[in-house]
Copies of this chain bind each other. A is one copy, B any other.
Amino acid sequence: MITVALAKGALLKDSVARFAIAGLDFSSILDPDNRQLMVLSSCGRARALLVRNGDVPVYVAYGQAQLGIVGYDVLKEHQMPVAHLADLEFGGCRMAVAVKESSGYKRASDLPPHCRVASKFTNCAREFFDALDLPVELVHLTGSVELGPLTGIAEAIVDLVATGRTLRDNGLVSIEDLFHSTARLVGHPLSLRLDSGDLQQIVDNVRSLDIQINK
């Protein structure tokens, strides 16, 4: 049986829609009353695991799920050994450096050396500031990163920005983007190589919408 890992939250609805194109109907997972973390497709050929964003590449890397849909931000931060199969182009957001609006900083290189930067994505942030040759002290937080500049624990933050509302509500402004992130289809490399046909067919169908768009 094919198992797919789906991320809870903002990507879920579109992820379910993509697998529906491939003939796998997991829409019961979207039912507000659903409390199950593992659901069968209506055809009974596949199951979906409903897990946290960061756990999608873990389940796929260990082969407990052959396919998964997860944001590029998570793939970049955690670097698990999974095959990147397609950019599904939904769930768009950007990883950005943000500071207090009153700070006067206009770009990341304006930040003072050795200042503190808070983030949930400290690997992405380290790579970015290393490339800038700007030494900063990274403070790893697990949530509400926008509190960082307000409390004084950090002068800047690196965080995902979708609409920008959270930044505005907290008097913050983004000054530079690290990268743009969208939902990606990932797969377990060995399962893809050993596949007798079904898996590749599903991958092709999930990707088909992008192919139509790009034609």
From the candidates B53, B59, B142, name the one contacting A55 in the complex (CB within 8 A): B142
Size band of the interface chain A makes with B: 20 to 34
Within A110-168, which residues are at the interface with B (CB < 8 Å)? 116, 139-144, 147, 150-153
| Contact between chains at A3 and B151 (CB < 8 Å) | yes
| Contact between chains at B54 and A142 (CB < 8 Å) | yes
CB contacts (< 8 Å) of A53 on chain B: these are 142
Copies of this chain, complex-wide, total 2
In the complex, A50→B146 CA distance in Å? 12
Within A34-89, which residues are at the interface with B (CB < 8 Å)? 37-38, 49-55, 58-59, 62, 64-65
Within A163-187, which residues are at the interface with B (CB < 8 Å)? none
Q: State the Cβ distance, A156 to closest chain B Cβ, in Å.
A: 15
In the complex, A37→B170 CA distance in Å? 10
From the candidates B38, B65, B142, name the one contacting A150 in the complex (CB within 8 A): B38
| Contact between chains at A49 and B142 (CB < 8 Å) | no
Q: State the Cβ distance, A134 to closest chain B Cβ, in Å.
A: 20
| Contact between chains at B152 and A52 (CB < 8 Å) | no
| 5 A-B pairs (CB sep. < 8 Å) | A38-B150, A49-B147, A51-B147, A52-B141, A58-B140
